[in-house]
Amino acid sequence: MNLTGSVILITGGTGSFGNRVATHLLKSQPAQIRIFSRDEKKQWEMQRVYPQFHYILGDVRDAERLSQAMRGVDFVFHAAALKQVPACEVYPYEAYKTNVLGSHHACEAARAHGVKTFVALSTDKAVKPVNAMGISKAMMEKLVCSQNRNGGGTVFCAVRYGNVMGSRGSVIPLFKKQIQEDSPLTLTVPEMTRFLMKLDQSVDLVLHAMTHAQGGEIFVRKAPACTVADLADAMRRKYSPRGAAHPIRVDGIRPGEKIHEILVNEYEMQRIIEKEEYFAIHPEYRLPAHLTSRPLGEEYTSANTRQLRDPASIGALLDAMGETEFYT
């Protein structure tokens, strides 16, 4: 897909993903990249580094403001969300207003202004959700992926991530901060597993979705996983002056947390096309002629994907992660 000369809008554009995808898209020489977000401080900080972007202050909860921002846009990456599980557990209605209602506004604006392709970002927590954040993102997926039932020229699809390494609010920056402060690394459940994906791979996934979507799909990139105990051990050995002697404290599971995450559930697995690096989950209303056959009941989870267990392999992934831009 040729993005040269196009206008691209990124909601939640000052977040970890929005920042990285915006800088990546510059290589395609678009006419304009619009950064839409509600935090003026993060916009000011990002604008000092990337003055070439067009910054729009607004909230996806505001349908009129979002519609104004969408005028003349060719492609949309919808990354705006409340994504912190503990905060969404305390304020579930706030999660609904941003993740569900805000996504509805984004879809309506995209359809009204003739956007070509709309890619929404989701999470493994939307699969068989047990917390408010996951439930709201699951509803977001349904809203977005149902849009093409109604016809129109806009192609709507979603991508689903596991843990994006180094993104704002993830455990890796937390462990680094605790190591720098010489405080114990805090774990919930040592046996808990989480997918590990580099931020650049998350960008690759949305570009893959944008170029392959027919409408209504959810795209998943395969990723390795490890236990949080193994991740903490690898990080203390790599970054702490005390090495393996750096203390670890187990605090117990938090409200709304799972032991293992799921990226493709047993029902979705019956309507996938699988490639070497990706799953494409097709909507029930548009199934291709040839699907990848999978046994009934099979799922793709952080417990049955490729496991990273030794500090060296996890450390290599941490090296490959690179530095992440933070606007705080």
Which helix H or strand E contains 233, and what residues bound it?
Answer: helix 228-239
Which pLDDT does position 141 carry in this prediction?
98
Q: Which residue has the tokens 């799921």?
A: 262
Which pLDDT does position 18 carry in this prediction?
84
| pLDDT above 60 (res 326) | no
φ, ψ dihedrals at 46, nearest 5°: -70, -35
C-alpha closest to that of 33 among 14, 18, 53? 53
- Say if strands 32-37 and 54-57 run parallel, antiparallel, or are unpaired: parallel
Residue-wise pLDDT tens digits, 90-123: 999 999 999 999 999 999 999 999 999 999 999 9
Residue-wise pLDDT tens digits, 236-245: 999 999 999 9
Residue-wise pLDDT tens digits, 41-99: 999 999 999 999 999 999 999 999 999 999 999 999 999 999 999 999 999 999 999 99
Mean pLDDT of 248-266: 93
| pLDDT above 70 (res 322) | no
- Orientation of helix 228-239 relative to helix 171-180, angle to 10°: 40
Which pLDDT does position 15 carry in this prediction?
87
- Say if strands 185-187 and 117-123 run parallel, antiparallel, or are unpaired: unpaired
Residues identified as active-site: 125
Q: End-to-end alpha-carbon separation of the chain, Å?
A: 34
**pLDDT class of 328 with cuts at 50, 70, 90:** very low
Structural domains of the chain sorted by starting position, each given as residue range(s) with its CATH number in brackets: 7-162+197-221 (3.40.50.720)
- Say if strands 248-250 and 272-274 run parallel, antiparallel, or are unpaired: unpaired
φ, ψ dihedrals at 298, nearest 5°: -75, 140
Residue-wise pLDDT tens digits, 205-240: 999 999 999 999 999 999 999 999 999 999 999 999
Which pLDDT does position 327 carry in this prediction?
42
